[in-house]
C-alpha cells in the first residue's frame, strides 16, 4: 500500500491528482486542531507569537503534528541562506565526495564555488549535486551509524530555534544533537523509510521545510498500511512523536506551484516581505532566491542520546525527510 501511493505521486505520465493531498491549515476532516501547552510563551525572533500558531494532529496518526508556517518572511530567507552558504562547509559532511577535493583545492565553500560558474546550465547542474549535509553528530553512511568520533558542535542558532519550537509544543526536554539538511531539486524523491538510528527513539523528530512545495507521505509501522499524503509548503513544520515516531514516511514529489490547484496560493509569498528584527543581505539573497526557485530545503533535527547519556551506545539506520 505504501509503495503504491509512492509510485502514484511520483509518476510523471500521467501526473497525479492532488485531490487527496492534505494542505496544512485547511479545514480537512483529518486535521484535528491541537491546543498549545505554552501558547503564552514569549515570542522568538523570526517566529509568530505562539498564540497565532495553527497546530494540528493528523487523524489516525497519533503524535504526528503539523504546524502551519509560523516563520516570518525574513526568517525563512535567513534559514535558506544558512543552509546554502554556511552549513555545507567543514567540519560538516556532504554527499559531494567528488566535488570535495575541488572545493579544498580552490579554497572556497560549495556556495562560493557555485557562484563562480557562469554557465546557467552548468551552475544548475552543480547546484543539484548537493543533496545532503549532516550537522552535529555526523552520520557514517557506509556503516549506517552515527560517529562518536565525529560529534561536531550543533549550530547554536538552529539549536536555539528548535528548542524553542519544541518547548512551545510541549517537548520541554528535547535536545537537538544531529540534523540532516536535505536539498531537493524539482522532481527529486525520498523513498519510504523509518528513522531508528538514534539511541533515544522516543524523542520527537522535527522537520522544517523551505522553498518549493512537496508531497509528504506518512504511513504506519508496516509498508502494508495505506499512507496519508500531506502538502508541505515553505515554513511548515512536521513533528513525528509518540506512535508516529517510527512510522514509514517518504517524499514522492517535489514540485512547483503550477502543478498545484491555484486555491493553495504560491510558495514565494511565504518568503517575500520584510521583518525589521532580522538582517538582510540583498546580494546574497538574490543568489539564494535563484536557487530556491527550483529547489526545496528540508532541515530534519533529531535528539540522538537519551537523557543523561553522554556517548553513543547503539547503532542503526538513519535517513531523513
Task: State mean pLDDT over 161-180.
Answer: 96
Q: How far is CA 207 from CA 142, 223, 263, 274, 302, in A?
A: 24, 21, 25, 24, 9
Confidence of residue 266 (pLDDT cuts 50, 70, 90): confident
Lowest average pLDDT, out of 34-48, 86-100, 174-188, goes to 86-100
**Residue whose grid cell is 546554502:** 84
Least confident of 58-67, 112-121, 131-140, 185-194: 112-121
Residue 29 belongs to some domain of the structure:
yes
3-class DSSP state for residue 73? helix
CB of 226 within 8 A of CB of 5?
yes
- Do the annotations mark residue 282 as ligand-binding? no
Residue 316 scores a pLDDT above 50: no
**CA 32 – CA 26 distance, rounded (Å):** 10
pLDDT-based confidence at 275, cuts 50/70/90? low
Range of the domain at 9: 1-75+185-302
Note the pLDDT of residue 160: 97
Least confident of 88-92, 188-192, 233-237: 88-92
> Quick one: average pLDDT of 111-127?
87
Share of the chain above pLDDT 90, in %: 58
Establish if 130 belongs to a structural domain. Answer: no
Is 113 inside any structural domain?
A: no
Per-residue pLDDT band at 37 (split at 50, 70, 90): confident
> Does position 179 have pLDDT exceeding 80, yes or no?
yes
For residue 94, give Cα distances in angstroms to 65, 140, 255: 29, 11, 24
pLDDT for the residue 318: 44
Please give the pLDDT value at position 241.
95
- DSSP letter at 84 equals I
Count, residues in the chain: 321
193 annotated as ligand-binding: yes
What integer is the mean pLDDT of 200-228? 94
φ, ψ (nearest 5 deg) of residue 65: -105, 145
Residue 319 reports pLDDT greater than 50: no
Tell me the mean pLDDT in the region 47-66: 95
What mean pLDDT is predicted for residues 124-144? 88
How far apart are alpha carbons 174 and 165 in whole angstroms?
Answer: 10
> CB-based contacts of 288: which residues, under 8 Å, 6+ apart?
77, 80, 81, 84, 85
Beta carbons of 166 and 172 less than 8 angstroms apart: yes
Q: Phi/psi of residue 247, each to 5°?
A: -85, 155
pLDDT value of residue 33? 95
Q: Let me know if residue 2 belongs to a domain.
A: yes
Residue 140 inside a domain? The answer is no
Query: Is residue 139 a part of any domain in this protein?
Result: no
pLDDT (0 to 100) of residue 185? 95
Residue 111 lies in a domain: no
Q: Give the mean pLDDT of 61-74.
A: 95
**Mean pLDDT within 183-195:** 92
- For range 156-182, the mean pLDDT: 96
Amino acid at each position: 500500500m505504501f509503495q503504491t501511493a509512492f509510485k502514484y505521486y511520483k509518476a510523471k505520465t500521467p501526473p497525479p491528482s492532488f485531490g487527496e493531498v492534505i494542505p496544512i491549515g485547511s479545514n480537512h476532516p483529518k486535521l484535528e486542531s491541537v491546543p498549545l501547552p505554552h501558547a503564552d510563551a514569549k515570542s522568538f525572533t523570526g517566529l509568530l507569537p505562539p498564540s497565532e500558531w495553527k497546530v494540528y494532529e493528523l487523524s489516525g496518526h497519533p503524535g504526528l503534528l503539523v504546524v502551519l508556517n509560523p516563520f516570518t518572511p525574513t526568517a525563512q530567507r535567513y534559514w535558506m541562506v544558512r543552509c546554502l552558504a554556511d552549513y555545507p562547509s567543514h567540519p560538516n559532511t556532504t554527499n559531494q565526495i567528488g566535488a570535495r577535493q575541488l572545493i579544498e583545492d580552490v579554497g572556497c565553500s560549495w556556495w562560493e564555488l557555485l557562484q563562480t560558474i557562469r554557465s546557467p546550465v552548468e551552475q544548475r547542474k552543480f547546484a543539484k549535486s548537493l543533496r545532503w549535509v549532516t550537522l552535529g553528530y555526523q552520520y557514517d553512511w557506509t556503516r549506517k551509524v552515527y560517529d562518536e568520533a565525529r560529534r561536531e558542535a550543533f549550530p547554536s542558532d538552529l539549536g536555539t530555534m528548535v528548542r524553542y519550537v519544541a518547548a512551545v509544543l510541549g517537548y520541554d526536554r528535547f535536545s537537538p544533537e544531529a540534523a540532516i539538511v536535505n536539498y531537493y531539486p524539482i522532481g527529486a524523491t525520498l523513498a519510504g523509510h523509518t528513522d531508528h538510528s538514534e539511541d533515544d527513539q522516543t524523542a520527537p523528530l522535527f522537520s522544517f521545510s523551505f522553498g518549493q512545495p512537496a508531497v509528504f507521505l506518512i504511513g504506519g509501522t508496516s509498508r502494508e498500511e495505506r499512507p496519508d499524503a500531506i502538502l508541505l509548503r515553505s515554513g511548515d513544520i512536521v513533528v513525528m512523536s509518540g506512535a508516529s515516531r517510527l512510522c514509514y514516511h517518504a517524499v514522492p514529489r517535489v514540485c512547483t506551484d503550477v502543478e498545484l490547484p491555484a486555491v493553495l496560493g504560491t510558495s514565494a509569498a511565504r518568503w517575500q516581505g520584510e521583518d525589521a528584527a532580522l538582517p538582510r543581505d540583498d546580494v546574497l539573497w538574490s543568489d539564494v532566491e535563484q536557487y530556491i526557485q527550483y529547489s526545496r530545503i528540508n532541515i530534519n533535527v533529531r535528539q540522538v542520546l537519551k537523557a543523561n547519556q553522554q556517548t553513543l551506545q547503539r547503532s542503526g539506520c538513519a535517513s531523513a525527510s
